Amino acid sequence: MLLRNVFAKQVRDLRWPTFWVSLGCGAMTAYFAILFPSYSKLFDLNSMLEKMGPAAKLLGASMGDASTLIGFLHIELFSMILPAGMAAFAAGVASGFTAGEESRGTIDVLLSYPISRQRVVLEKWLAICLACVVAAVVLWVFAIGGAAISASALPGDRLAAALVMLVLIGLAFGAISLAISTATGNRGAAIGVTIALLVVMYLVDALSAVVDGLATIRPFSLFRYYMGDDPLRNGLNLGDAAVLAGVTVIFLVIAVMAFDRRDLAA
Amino acid sequence: MTPAIETRGLTKRYGRARGIIDVDLVVEAGQIFGFLGPNGAGKSTTIRLLLDLIRPTSGEASVLGMDVHRDRLAIDRRVGYVPGELSLYGELTGHQLLAYLANLQGRVDADYRDRLIERLELDPTRRIKSLSRGNKQKVGLVAAFMIRPDLLILDEPTAGLDPFVQLEFEHLCEEARDEGRTVFISSHQLPEVEHLCDRVGIIREGRLLAVELIADLKGRALRRLEIHFAGPVNADVFAGLPGVRDLVVRDGTLRCTVMGSIDALIKTAARFEVHDIHSIETSLEEIFMAYYGSGGGTEPDAVREASHAAA
């Protein structure tokens, strides 16, 4: 029963958004996987990227090898669209967890039942974790399916490693958004600041290879840890994963503490 | 016996906006307590402090003998609450919402819940967002009563209820009291709660002005009377009567305000031929104005004087 507790209710609230995000990401990935052989016949992507030079870095194509499907997916999806999408999904949803209940006014009734504020935040957080994992699993299945259709090689373990990083960066931005929204009760501010942060961090990481000064601040960009060690080629880098998970935990703790101290909006 | 609610110097300041100031309130267990005041007087602020939804600037509050912040979960197990601006998950049906809240509560007597649904004539199969304000209010009332709480905190609970449901609601409150439970009802309209409450607290501009037995307050209700006589009457006959104020007699029509009993006025009027009588009970706001002054920061002494003068 999807109304057993706050977690279950949140999962229920997220069932359709999760369905569409999963389907969207999955379909996009399957599309590229299926059409990959035609693309590589039509264009010599590697030489095109070479000609673009530094501009290719901006598109996040700095490391992909476009002659393989997994490299192609890296350039087309994993460098920008998927992490931006996953982060926007997690941040958008998390921003509404408590701030949404406050602006709707449902928080008064919810918290008049014996459940602590900390628990409300944590149970809702678990629901977005589940939603991101579901989206990643669906994406994996669609990608593998698409690769099978086009008879392209796609190593499932390295794809899975990239998806782990995808979920982690999504949740990290989700936790930042959650912390802002629980501390302020302002959903718009949470989404706005998080998206701005995401864009800046993306640009810092993408441009750090071509702009000298940026290399020093690159460690402050979460994107450095997301694909920095190219999990699609090298598998999971536990250190990088731990950094993203650590950032998530820190902001989750901030979110819980901030929400516990605040006067809630009437 | 432990009071159901006790606050000491409870204060909540909001920047420039008024919160509540130095509220000392004791609500004894086993009674229906009306918390009266005009809109914006601080009723909801007080209630939300009791529920730990907001935190006091200073002072303390306990509910059922427990600290509102430290023991919130233990308190929430035993308190039912209907917020003033009731807002529920619109996408759920009444059934689903009540099931969800029952799960959060832990254990709820399903038979009792169903009886409440029946008595309030709630259709629990409809989505809450499709319900009228009054029907939404019923869902809120069932949610609060179904856990058989030791204390019910109801913030303007009768808004939007039709007269039949209002009556049933009053029965529910009385039953709760008769079982030794406590009902705390806020309202800005005295007539809505006067026949229900045992005792009322009056809050105005953030300050608790008085706590009185309802019987005493009603004795001091202000009434505006208009009496139409068959012919001209002499104003002097009515001028000295107890409680009569603002007397105007013109062309056989008498207009005045009566404080307390209207008995003397009616008996005097009965000496003449009366064509018609209009009686308008004044709003709570007007009683506040009459007894507790119109300016802010009424001194306790002035309140006592006013009460004394009126008694």
- Render pLDDT for B23-66 as a digit per residue (tens, 0 to 9): 999 999 999 999 988 888 899 999 999 999 999 999 999 999 99
Query: What ipTM, to 2 d.p.?
Result: 0.89
B33 to chain A, minimum CA–CA distance in Å?
20
How confident is the model over B122-147, as a mean pLDDT? 95
User: The tokens 């009424």 sit on which residue?
Assistant: B298
The answer, yes or no, to whether residue B5 has pLDDT greater than 60, is yes
Regarding predicted confidence, which is higher, A217 or A121? A121
CA–CA dist B248, B260 (Å, integer): 19
A107 CB neighbours in chain B (<8 A) are 53
Query: b/e for A125-163, b at 16 or more Cβ within 10 A?
Result: bebbeebbbbbbebbbebbbebbeebebebbeebbbbbb
pLDDT in tens, B216-232: 766 667 788 999 999 99
Which residues sit opposite B154 in a β-bridge?
Answer: B82, B185
How confident is the model over A54-77, as a mean pLDDT? 73
- Percentage of chain A exceeding pLDDT 90: 73
A104 CB neighbours in chain B (<8 A) are 87
Residue A5, chain B, CB below 8 Å: the answer is yes
Query: b/e for A40-72, b at 16 or more Cβ within 10 A?
Result: beeeebbeebeeeeeebbeebbbbbbbebbbbb
Residue type (1 letter), B68:
V
The answer, yes or no, to whether residue B296 has pLDDT greater than 50, is no
- Rg, C-alpha atoms of chain A: 20
A100 CB neighbours in chain B (<8 A) are none
How confident is the model over A114-122, as a mean pLDDT? 97
A110 CB neighbours in chain B (<8 A) are 104
Nearest beta carbon to residue A266 from set B44, B76, B91: B44
pLDDT in tens, B87-103: 999 999 999 999 999 99
Asked if A111 and B53 come within 8 Å (Cβ–Cβ), the reply is: yes
Q: CA–CA distance from A265 to each of A184, B53, B54, B79 (Å)?
A: 10, 8, 8, 21
pLDDT band at A63 (very low <50, low <70, confident <90, very high): low
How is the beta sheet containing B244-250 ordered, strand by strand?
B244-250, B253-259, B222-229, B274-281
A261 CB neighbours in chain B (<8 A) are 55
A109 CB neighbours in chain B (<8 A) are 81, 83, 86-88, 101, 140, 143
Asked if A112 and B79 come within 8 Å (Cβ–Cβ), the reply is: yes
User: For position B158, what pLDDT does the model report?
Assistant: 83
Asked if B48 and A106 come within 8 Å (Cβ–Cβ), the reply is: no
Regarding predicted confidence, which is higher, A64 or B280? B280
The answer, yes or no, to whether residue B311 has pLDDT greater than 70, is no
| Nearest residue to A154 (alpha-carbon basis) of A249, A86, A78 | A78
DSSP state of A263: P
CA–CA dist A81, A233 (Å, integer): 19
pLDDT band at B298 (very low <50, low <70, confident <90, very high): very low
User: Cβ distance A120 to A7 under 8 Å?
Assistant: no
DSSP, collapsed to helix, strand or coil, labels residue B226 as strand
How is the beta sheet containing B58-63 ordered, strand by strand?
B20-27, B5-12, B58-63, B66-67
Asked if A114 and B73 come within 8 Å (Cβ–Cβ), the reply is: yes
The answer, yes or no, to whether residue B303 has pLDDT greater than 60, is no
User: For position A2, what pLDDT does the model report?
Assistant: 83
Which of A6-20, A229-243, B19-33, B296-310 shows the lowest per-residue confidence on average (mean pLDDT)? B296-310
The answer, yes or no, to whether residue A33 has pLDDT greater than 90, is yes
DSSP, collapsed to helix, strand or coil, labels residue B10 as strand
Counted residue by residue, chain B has a size of: 311
Residue A196, chain B, CB below 8 Å: the answer is no
How confident is the model over B270-283, as a mean pLDDT? 86
How is the beta sheet containing B79-82 ordered, strand by strand?
B79-82, B151-155, B182-187, B32-36, B199-204, B207-213
Asked if A1 and B44 come within 8 Å (Cβ–Cβ), the reply is: no
Which of residues 69 through 128 in chain A touch B, CB cutoff 8 A? 104-116
Cβ of A9: how many Cβ atoms within 10 Å?
Answer: 22
User: For position A60, what pLDDT does the model report?
Assistant: 54
B206: left (phi over 0), alpha (psi -120 to 50) or beta: left
Asked if B53 and A107 come within 8 Å (Cβ–Cβ), the reply is: yes
| Nearest residue to A33 (alpha-carbon basis) of A123, A114, A142 | A142
DSSP per position, B11-22:
EE--SSS--EEE
Q: CA–CA distance from B224 to each of A186, B207, B217, B242 (Å)?
A: 49, 28, 16, 14
